Chains A and B, each alone.
Chain A
């Protein structure tokens, strides 16, 4: 699909975290929208002297991460750095897996095809766009992967797109190659159009929402059976090759039901917007009756009330850290939700659902420590490994382990400490954000005063 477009890439002279002047490129730089050079791929990189929060195997003090061809080749305290490797000296810095946001609406031209109750045929992938500099700002918060979802206007929404924030490259090359496809479902007030003076569409009640789901999957099953019947007849026809025999006629292709059949067959992950415990249980019953698993309940603000049922069904919970009281169905939301669901065995992630919040998910995750007493590693997993598990990409990303993609955030302090910020963000071992060369307010002010760029590191 994408095979990183290697054309005329500007080359960083080195990746030191300290201030530096990039070497002027020999040819016109292939700059991203911010004028920031697009980093080269395939370089041998070593992040040294780092406090590494692996998210899977605890913390490594003064460790090294060796990156080869965009993958983590070695991690530990006794890693030999081969000659020629670009060194990122992370002395005094904290390194975490790139942050994964399991609920985003960034980079999409449109997110709600809400005219019908079921729009399983529409795809976020078809409306991806660069979206200004929002993606860059999320990178600057250590976020590397987004689950871009359809909105919550209707019961069965459109198909998602999982992307890596390869900011500056064409949008198509941001798609996360190999991520399982998904689809957005939604329950509750948004679907019922409770804020509209005159609702325009069935369903109006939570009963209607269940009916829409059952009706859709009943039709999907019948459609699936038609195709199975046809496939069998076609196979028999092809095998017999009887002269004069009439080839079987295929059923009419239905793109909406195709997506739902994929759900029935476990090939498409359901990410279901939900608030109240009752509607969560309804969705679990419907899924059980039709034999599929809900990969994640999104928002799931009352998930703590039915955590055992979620855990038993193998469904993840992807929630806000502390949003509540903004509508009636968020009235029983508690900030302890994430920690309590996790305590009872649910795979929990904390998501943004916001271009703004996606820039500081590390601060949001720390709230699981404050409310409900999650450990620091559990909280870190809520924005890394657990989100990867919910999206079915945990073999590729979500922790700092040998063989995984080198998607990494480097902080100037512990990611949960108050004065910490992201210094550098790597995707596939490529530095897509570097505060030392990023357009910061400090830099802008210096430029307005006609001064050359000096970073705060130099000032010290």
Chain B
């Protein structure tokens, strides 16, 4: 049935990983007779792709297979570039309700200095579950406060968090203040109810603080570039490439007010921003397109408000892409980061072009995060993050058969397959 379940033992898996680490630099992998879907170029029927040294060495319909290559028969299969989740907490959380495993929220409103890789657990049980569904790369970040810290771009394989890192500080994460009532008063909850006026006042204060903080950081960067021997400030130091517009700032903003505020914030401080969440971005599609502000949408698994169109959340990405906005998807989840392509599928059912939906989980996020020269498509010289499927990765029915991260074959053993195999083999009582 599912071929991937044939490799079982964890010991074997570890051995495989070690062996591959040693050989990946030398021996090639040749995936033959597969349909290659490069994303940035037309698909290639009955094609071959060669992986070597963690990179894509060659691909095409008439590629000579090196004599030393390990052959993977791709007959009937499709080869895609690894999917990129543009927003998750992978590595920072394990079991939601167990506080000991949570490193997602720091105390305080301004934490740009925090090094997220320090808290990424490379051996989280959530990671193997995610990558065997084709998500090979992720933007993982902490949340909370006004400046949550820098997000890291990581590949979902490695012995250490440093191994996994593609770009350790790929973007700064800012939560744009909102006057919407936050939190949930549901089961076991029940926070303090605040009046609309109080919420607005808090929002205004937070916006002022946010501006002030970034203006101070700009001043700090300016002074420190001109003078020697000044005392350093960890928070401002960490913000320098972001306030200079060299690296992007992800602004989490859902409502139209927040998005407008985020755009004004970026204009005022000359920041390079990416709007994320962006539930109401359809209202500002033309502005976002004109200003060339990329948008990360999702999760699409949210219901609209009572007075909104029933398909608002699903249709939002299609409206944005249609207006010329560059979009990517995020799961905004750790345990179900693997469902990333299904967010894109929902959007494709409600107006997003299917090819654009695929780009929005591959090349588009690579472009937003400045790694399009190495990630996001099947091209010679790019990092060998590829996966083999029985069909369209946006189709839930599709099975993933092989995953390669930096050219290493990823074992299909994870917490879920091991429990599945164990209990599937439970003897029936006579």
Contact A445 B336 (CB under 8 A): no
B226 within 8 A of A: no
Contact A439 B315 (CB under 8 A): no
| Contact mask for chain A residues 419-454; partner B; CB cutoff 8 A; 1 contact, 0 none | 111000000000000000011111111000000000
Contact A332 B419 (CB under 8 A): yes
How far does the Cβ of A242 sit from chain B's closest Cβ, in whole Å?
Answer: 57
Contact A440 B310 (CB under 8 A): yes
Q: Say whether, besides A325-B95, A326-B335, A418-B392, A305 and B423 are in contact (CB < 8 Å).
A: yes
Contact A326 B97 (CB under 8 A): yes
CB-based nearest B residue for A112? B187
A-B contact count (CB 8 A): 147
A416 to B398, alpha carbons, bound, how many Å? 10
A14 within 8 A of B: no
How far does the Cβ of B147 sit from chain A's closest Cβ, in whole Å?
Answer: 27
Contact B348 A441 (CB under 8 A): no
Contact A418 B345 (CB under 8 A): yes
Q: Which residues of A contact B198 (CB under 8 A)?
A: none
Contact B349 A420 (CB under 8 A): yes
How far does the Cβ of A170 sit from chain B's closest Cβ, in whole Å?
Answer: 18
Q: Which of B350, B396, B424 has the most CB of A within 10 A?
A: B396
CB-based nearest B residue for A304? B423
| Selected contact of A325 from candidates B126, B187, B282, B316, CB within 8 Å | B126
| Selected contact of B302 from candidates A133, A356, A442, CB within 8 Å | A356
A336 to B304, alpha carbons, bound, how many Å? 30
Contact B310 A417 (CB under 8 A): no
CB-based nearest A residue for B301? A356
| Selected contact of B301 from candidates A334, A344, A357, A438, CB within 8 Å | A357
A151 within 8 A of B: yes
B311 within 8 A of A: yes
How far does the Cβ of A331 sit from chain B's closest Cβ, in whole Å?
Answer: 6
Q: Say whether, besides A332-B419, A340-B423, A359-B303, A137 and B310 are in contact (CB < 8 Å).
A: yes
CB-based nearest A residue for B396? A366
Contact B399 A421 (CB under 8 A): no
Contact A441 B316 (CB under 8 A): yes
CB-based nearest B residue for A379? B397
Q: Give chain B interface residues in 14-50, CB to chain A under 8 Å.
A: none
Q: Which residues of A contact B351 (CB under 8 A)?
A: 442, 456
A326 to B2, alpha carbons, bound, how many Å? 27
| Contact mask for chain B residues 409-429; partner A; CB cutoff 8 A; 1 contact, 0 none | 000000110011001101011
Q: Which residues of B contact A151 (CB under 8 A)?
A: 187
A355 within 8 A of B: yes
B312 within 8 A of A: yes
Contact B303 A137 (CB under 8 A): yes
Contact A373 B1 (CB under 8 A): yes
A387 to B403, alpha carbons, bound, how many Å? 36
A371 to B416, alpha carbons, bound, how many Å? 10
Contact B309 A444 (CB under 8 A): yes
B342 within 8 A of A: yes
Contact A369 B311 (CB under 8 A): no
| Contact mask for chain B residues 296-312; partner A; CB cutoff 8 A; 1 contact, 0 none | 00000111101101111
CB-based nearest B residue for A433? B310
| Selected contact of B397 from candidates A193, A357, A370, A439, CB within 8 Å | A370
Q: Give chain B interface residues in 365-423, CB to chain A under 8 Å.
A: 392, 394-399, 415-416, 419-420, 423
How far does the Cβ of B234 sit from chain A's closest Cβ, in whole Å?
Answer: 33
CB-based nearest A residue for B350? A421
B188 within 8 A of A: yes
A460 within 8 A of B: no
A441 to B281, alpha carbons, bound, how many Å? 12
CB-based nearest A residue for B397? A369
CB-based nearest B residue for A132? B306
Contact A445 B319 (CB under 8 A): yes
Contact A356 B336 (CB under 8 A): no
How far does the Cβ of A381 sit from chain B's closest Cβ, in whole Å?
Answer: 16
A344 to B426, alpha carbons, bound, how many Å? 11
B96 within 8 A of A: yes
Contact B354 A419 (CB under 8 A): yes
Q: Say whether, besides A363-B345, A418-B348, A190 and B315 are in contact (CB < 8 Å).
A: no
Contact B397 A137 (CB under 8 A): no
A82 to B166, alpha carbons, bound, how many Å? 66
Contact A418 B311 (CB under 8 A): no
How far does the Cβ of A153 sit from chain B's closest Cβ, in whole Å?
Answer: 7
Q: Say whether, besides A190-B187, A325-B126, A136 and B310 are in contact (CB < 8 Å).
A: yes
* Interface band, chain B: 35 or more
A323 within 8 A of B: yes
Contact B96 A327 (CB under 8 A): yes
CB-based nearest B residue for A141? B310
Q: Which of A112, A194, A360 has the most CB of B within 10 A?
A: A360
Classify the secondary structure of A's interface with B.
Answer: loop
CB-based nearest B residue for A196? B188
Q: Which residues of A contact B304 (CB under 8 A)?
A: 137
Q: Say whether, besides A137-B304, A340-B424, A359-B303, A441 and B346 are in contact (CB < 8 Å).
A: no
Q: Say whether, besides A132-B306, A418-B392, A440 and B96 are in contact (CB < 8 Å).
A: no
Contact B396 A367 (CB under 8 A): yes
Q: Which residues of A contact B314 (CB under 8 A)?
A: 421
Contact A140 B301 (CB under 8 A): no
Contact A442 B396 (CB under 8 A): no
Q: Give chain A interface residues in 315-358, CB to chain B under 8 Å.
A: 322-328, 330-332, 334-336, 340, 343-344, 355-357
A363 to B314, alpha carbons, bound, how many Å? 13
A442 to B349, alpha carbons, bound, how many Å? 13
A366 to B349, alpha carbons, bound, how many Å? 15
B362 within 8 A of A: no
Q: Say whether, besides A363-B346, A420-B349, A326 and B96 are in contact (CB < 8 Å).
A: yes
Contact B335 A418 (CB under 8 A): no
Q: Give chain B interface residues in 314-360, CB to chain A under 8 Å.
A: 314-316, 319, 334-336, 338-339, 342, 344-346, 348-351, 354, 357
CB-based nearest A residue for B348? A419
B94 within 8 A of A: yes
A115 within 8 A of B: no
B197 within 8 A of A: no
Q: Say whether, besides A140-B311, A325-B94, A441 and B282 are in contact (CB < 8 Å).
A: yes
A419 to B350, alpha carbons, bound, how many Å? 8
Q: Give chain A interface residues in 380-426, CB to chain B under 8 Å.
A: 416-421
Q: Which residues of B contact A323 (CB under 8 A)?
A: 335-336
Q: Say whether, besides A137-B304, A334-B416, A421-B349, A441 and B399 are in contact (CB < 8 Å).
A: no
Contact A441 B96 (CB under 8 A): no
Contact B336 A322 (CB under 8 A): yes
Q: Say whether, besides A132-B306, A440-B310, A370 and B399 are in contact (CB < 8 Å).
A: yes
Q: Which residues of A contact B1 (CB under 8 A)?
A: 373
B98 within 8 A of A: yes
Q: Which residues of A contact B420 (CB under 8 A)?
A: 304, 334, 336, 340, 371-372
Q: Which residues of A contact B339 (CB under 8 A)?
A: 322
Q: Which residues of B contact A367 (CB under 8 A)?
A: 396
A59 within 8 A of B: no
A325 to B333, alpha carbons, bound, how many Å? 11
Q: What 6 A-B pairs have minimum CB-CB distances, sorted nearest first?
A: A418-B345, A366-B396, A327-B97, A132-B306, A325-B335, A441-B315
- 24 A-B residue pairings within 8 Å (CB atoms): A304-B423, A305-B423, A324-B336, A325-B95, A326-B95, A326-B97, A326-B335, A328-B95, A328-B98, A330-B95, A335-B416, A340-B423, A356-B301, A359-B303, A366-B397, A417-B395, A418-B342, A418-B348, A418-B357, A419-B348, A440-B311, A441-B309, A443-B309, A444-B309
